[in-house]
Every structure is written in structure tokens, then in C-alpha cells.
Chains A and B, each alone.
Chain A
Amino acid sequence: MDMKRVMKDYFLDLDQASKDPERKVAWCTSVGPAEILRAMGFEVFFPENHGAMLGATRVCMDTIPKANAMGYSPDICSYLTSDVGAYLKGITPLTKAYGIESVPRPDILVYNTNQCKDVMHWFEYFAHEFDAPVFGIHPPTHLPEVEESHIADVVKQFEELIRVLEKMQGRAMRREDLQRTCALSKQATDLWAEVLETAMARPSPLTFFDSTIYMGPIVVLRGTKVARDYYRVLLTDLKIRAAAKVAAVPGESKRIYWDGMPVWGRLRSMSELFKANHACVVASTYCNSWIFTDFDPADPLPSMAYAYLKIFINRNDQYKEDYIRKLVNEYSIDGVIFHDAKTCPNNSNSQYNLPSRLRKGGIPAVIINGDLCDLRCYSDEQSSTVIEAFVETL
């Protein structure tokens, strides 16, 4: 099953849906309740995925300044500024990739602040621009533990969302539809977890840089058969590669954990840099963020509430430290690289002394400064020196 085909079909179908008065499109945050939207018959578009495309194609370097100039600070989420700027300029990387003229017009925008509050500002802007309703889920954040009361709170908000969607669709939510999307999400996410776990093999058959591409369907196609089927095929392939000891990084000698966002505009050069230094980035906070093993089709809303509350980004620092330590052990990691992304403090975990705490526990750690999209905040030279020096010292 070809990744390019999967993504192309997804975007072409979205484009069709946005032009079809019979079909409705919802915009959703990347760890928002896609299963509910799909169960209610919405086609789902993820602006963060669009932000990543703007970053990877470096088109964002033309669009971020546009948003900055209209009043969105260069210090806030560069997905947001990339995307708002693209809208202001009337451009999208979807045109070059798939011949699609513009992003699909939303009938509703649904965000979840389990990741950050930038998504709220972002979705509110577009709700205003498209004159569409916006619905925000505001869960308790930065939790040491997820408690029953937190789950009940989010379930209530999900139910409120369902009422809004029911009104828009003129029909009630069918429990079996939600169970189906939840089950499909669960199957896909479990497979995604297994895909990532193939990197426990030595040598690893995949790197973080591969995974940032492979993760497309788990972000944008949760709750569909396509995502599940895609990961079945991918997993089989990776298992064969792992068994045959096919190394993603030939001569793999160091194994690295990556914390924080990718530098989208530098995926290829970073991948080459690690390869040249025989270092393989075998695990990351970022790719693991789409593992939702707690989904339970028998109990969809509470289990989804739990899974979406439990995510790494929504937890306190002690949880994050324990989580990274666990993965360092499981993946036989030699050192941790923290990407301190200038415009996303939410996904930058180096700012509250975590690297020092890891070092004290005997885990080498280093910080690179950069950004997910905004290459004005990034120095190739400085980052590669830090990365190479780090690998040299391991």
C-alpha cells in the first residue's frame, strides 16, 4: 500500500467533499476527537498537517512573514502563522502536490486544548474567516495523573460537541458508528505502536525521519479502514526488514531519542547528518504522541477522553521524565536530543531542566535550538555542530 497514494486519495476526497453540498467538512486538531467527527459523517481536515506540509516544502518562509505583518507575532506557533499566512496569500502546498486549489472550506472547526492554546486562536481566526462555528474542548491540562473527574469533564464536553454535530447533520449519533470509528482508530494506533517498536531492533529498520512521513495516516485518517490497512502492510514490511537486519542507518553505532517537534524544512538534511555519523534516531516523543492504546470500542467516549487526556504533552514534568527514561531503556538509547522549538514551548521539553535531570541519572542529553517551521529561528551550522559533537561524545 503506497503512502503517497493514501495521502493523495485522502486529500482528493476532502476536496470533493468540500465541493459537495451533501457532504460536510470538519477541521480538527491533531489530537482532537476525529472519531466523533467521522462517526457523525464529517470528512476531517487537520490544519496542523497542512502546517507541516508548509514547513516541509519551506513555502512557510513566504507565508509566516505575511501573518507576522498582519499582527501574529513571530514568537507564536509557526504552524499557525504558516497557515494563516498561506490563507492570506491564497496558496497551499496541496496545489503542487495534488492539483487542489485550496484547503477545504470548513462547516465546523473543532479544537482540543490538550496540546496547547495556540490551536484555539488559530481555529477562531478561521471560524471568523469562513463564518463557521467553532467548538473547543478545554480539558484539564498538565496532569500528573488522569483522574475520573477529568474523564467525566471531557466526556461531558464530547457530549456537548455531539449535540452540536447532531443538529448540523439533522440526525442522532448512532452508538455503533462511534464504536466502529473508535475500533478502527484503536486498531490503527496499535499497529502504529508496533511499527514504532520495530525500531527496538538493532540495527533499527526505521528512523524518526522515516516515521515523520509514515505517521501521515495515523494523524489524518484515524477512525478509517485505510489507516488500519496501511499500517498492517507497513508493519509486515518493517518486521521483515528488522528480521533481515536491514539497517535504516548503515553501520548504526549510536541510538538516539528525539524529543520535540521535527524541523520540517530540514528533514532530509538532518536525516543525512545522522546517517553520516552512524547515529540512528530510533524513538521520539513526537511520533509516539499518536499512540492511543486506551481506546475501547465497548466504552468509546470515556476511553477516548482518557486517551486524549493521557497524552505526553498534557502531562506534568515528572511524567515526561519517567516516560523518556522508560523509552531510553526499552530502545537502548545512547543519548537524548531535545529540540527547543522557538515557537512551540508546548512541545519543547528542555526548558524546565529536564535535560539536566536526565544527565544526573546518567542519560546524556543535549539541546538544539530551532523551530518546527520557521527557519529564521534555525541555524544549520549550529545544530549540526551540536548534533555531531554530541554523537562524538557518546
Chain B
Amino acid sequence: MSAGTNHEHLYWGVDCGSTQIKVIACDGDGKVVHKRIGRTLFPLLEHVRNTISAGGSGPSPLTEDLLGVKENHTLAATGYGRNHIEFASGKLTEISAHFLGAQQLLQLDGPYTIVDIGGQDSKVIEVHDGRVGQFVINRKCAAGTGAFIEELAHRLEVPLSDLTRLARLHDKDMTLNSYCTVFSGQEVIKILMNGERLENLIHALYASVVQRILEMTSITTQNVVFSGGVMNFNPILIDLFDEKLPDHTTFLVEDAQYCGAYGAALFARGLAEKQAENFSQSEVNVRLAT
């Protein structure tokens, strides 16, 4: 994805996640012209507006367009906050958004599986024949999500940015057994009390995240695509998935953190095209956005 300058028609995607708001604007060719990020804070709408308007030199869809001055911008929302973004012309779930983003960025032929580790949840999405088939979202516990990594990093007093480097220095494979963040925290303390190296423990922590994801569903496709910010910032996760899935081909989508926002922008494009054809939003088939 690359940043550009003014374009006549822009399609905006806002991925309002549990920890961050990601914003992408693309042109009619799907080329990214704006990319913005902010924290998910409250009041939500204010922070969404600020994130959309902040940074970047291009037009703000809020001030110039969505308030009715022009009609050449369309905005779609995804993420847990999608239903609260009242000025969006359409919304879609993260499942569809990550699919649309990954499909456009990778243009894979044949079936593939998207693994998206998010701040509060993780998803495994199977794509067949250019559309979403089966998908699962992790169950109630934080284990297997970014929140789990953050929580244990906090307990270990290790900066998040240092975790992958330390994990790569491990010299022993260990297992954290528990599903539960609290139980895992207790396991961690016990392991540390037994004098284990921190590097081995952090490696085990990552391995457990991978394990929790692979327990959610069996991955049956040859191609596996990684998406979402947690993968972006913890690249060791990809190494660990590669170890566990030796017969699969894995891909990390470019700017994985923005994949959902990009998918939403593509959805907005599809929406605008459909609206131009005088269809209602409910009739827009997300597949057409690709």
C-alpha cells in the first residue's frame, strides 16, 4: 500500500477495532491514497472523526464530503465499533472486510484460509471460490488474541516491541497449557519461580497463541494468509505457524494491520458502484467489491 495525493473519487474504510482505529482511503483502482491510525478511545465518534481527519494531506471525508458538500466520497465501517459510526454509508463485519482486503492484495487463485489475530479476538476464515465459506471466531477467553500477549508482557514487564526479539533467543521449547489468561499467568509465574529463562517463556507464550488458533478449526487449504496487527508486530508468530503448518504455503498481507480497513474501503467502492446503479445497500454483494 502506498500513500498518494488528492483524487477525485475516494473510498474510505474505517476499521474501528477494540484497541485501534485504522483508516484507509483508496481510489477507484483500489490504490491506497490515505492511511491513518488512532487509538480506540471514547467518545468513540470523536476519536473516529479525529483519526479520519488527522495526518495525511488529502481531503477529509467528514469536513468536505460526508457532510454533504460533495458526493464523491463513500465511507464504510468495519470492526467492533462499526455500528456506531453513524456517518458511514455502509458497514460490514471484520470477516468480510479481511477477506476483501486479502483477496485484493494477494489475488490468490483457489481456496485459502485467512488467520487474523486481533486485539480482542481471533478469526480463521476459509475462502472458497472467491467467497467466504466457513469461519470461526475465538471463544470467550483472551487466550489466542493480542490481549493475551499484552497481558503477559505486562506481567513480565517486557516492552511489547521487545517480545519477538527475546523469543527468538529461546533455547528450549516449552508449553503453556491453559486456555485461560489468568491460569496462564499463574503458569508463567510458576515457571519463572523455577528459574526458567525469560526468553524460553516468551517463546512458549507465542507458541501457545498459535496453538489456541490451531485448536479453533482445522486448516484444510494449502494457502494460509495472515492478517491483522498482531501478526504485523509479532512476526515470530508467522515462524511458529510455519513450523506447525510445514506443508502449507503462508503469506502475510502487506500492512496486515490495515487489511480490514482496506477491505472496508473496497466495500465502500462496491457500494458506490451499486448505488450508482440504483441498488439499495442490502443488495450489494460483497463479492462484487473485489
| Bound-complex Cα distance A253 to B283 (A) | 10
B168 interface contact, C-beta 8 A: no
A271 to chain B, nearest CB (A): 16
| Neighbouring B residues of A369 by C-beta, 8 Å | 139-140
Residue from B80, B83, B133, B139 in contact with A393 in the complex, judged by beta carbons closer than 8 Å = B133
Q: Which of A366, A379, A384, A385 has the most CB of B within 10 A?
A: A385
Interface window among B34-42, B93-101, B159-167:
B93-101
B244 to chain A, nearest CB (A): 21
Asked if residues B94 and A392 are in contact (CB atoms below 8 Å), the reply is no
| Neighbouring A residues of B80 by C-beta, 8 Å | 381, 385
A119 to chain B, nearest CB (A): 26
Asked if residues B95 and A393 are in contact (CB atoms below 8 Å), the reply is yes
Main secondary structure of the interface of A (DSSP, over half): helix
Asked if residues B94 and A385 are in contact (CB atoms below 8 Å), the reply is yes
A278 interface contact, C-beta 8 A: yes
Contact with A along B255-290 (1 / 0, CB 8 A): 000000000000000000000000000100010000
Contact with B along A217-252 (1 / 0, CB 8 A): 000000000000000000000000000000000010
Asked if residues B135 and A393 are in contact (CB atoms below 8 Å), the reply is yes
Q: A379-B140, A385-B137 are in contact. Are A251 and B282 (CB under 8 A)?
A: yes
Q: How many residue pairs between the two chains, A and B, have CB atoms under 8 Å in the bound complex?
A: 43
| Bound-complex Cα distance A386 to B94 (A) | 10
Asked if residues A253 and B96 are in contact (CB atoms below 8 Å), the reply is no
A152 interface contact, C-beta 8 A: no
| Neighbouring A residues of B95 by C-beta, 8 Å | 385, 389, 392-393
| Neighbouring A residues of B94 by C-beta, 8 Å | 385, 389
Chain B's closest residue to A380 (CB) is B80
B201 interface contact, C-beta 8 A: no
Asked if residues B139 and A392 are in contact (CB atoms below 8 Å), the reply is no
Q: How large is the interface on A (under 10, 10 to 19, 20 to 34, 35 or more residues)?
A: 10 to 19
| Neighbouring A residues of B132 by C-beta, 8 Å | 389, 392-393
B158 interface contact, C-beta 8 A: no
Asked if residues B140 and A389 are in contact (CB atoms below 8 Å), the reply is no
Asked if residues B282 and A253 are in contact (CB atoms below 8 Å), the reply is yes
| Bound-complex Cα distance A385 to B137 (A) | 9
Q: A251-B282, A392-B286, A393-B131 are in contact. Are A385 and B93 (CB under 8 A)?
A: yes
Chain A's closest residue to B136 (CB) is A367
| Neighbouring A residues of B135 by C-beta, 8 Å | 366, 389, 393
Asked if residues B282 and A359 are in contact (CB atoms below 8 Å), the reply is no
| Neighbouring B residues of A364 by C-beta, 8 Å | 133-134
A342 to chain B, nearest CB (A): 8
11 A-B pairs with CB atoms under 8 Å apart are: A251-B282, A377-B140, A382-B137, A384-B83, A385-B93, A385-B137, A386-B137, A392-B95, A392-B96, A393-B95, A393-B133
Contact residues of A with B, CB < 8 Å? 251, 253, 278, 359, 364, 366-367, 369, 377, 379, 381-382, 384-386, 388-389, 392-393
Contact residues of B with A, CB < 8 Å? 80, 83, 92-96, 121, 131-137, 139-140, 282, 286
Given contacts A359-B134, A364-B134, A392-B92, 11 further A-B pairs with CB under 8 A are A251-B282, A364-B133, A369-B139, A381-B80, A382-B121, A382-B137, A389-B135, A392-B96, A392-B132, A393-B96, A393-B133
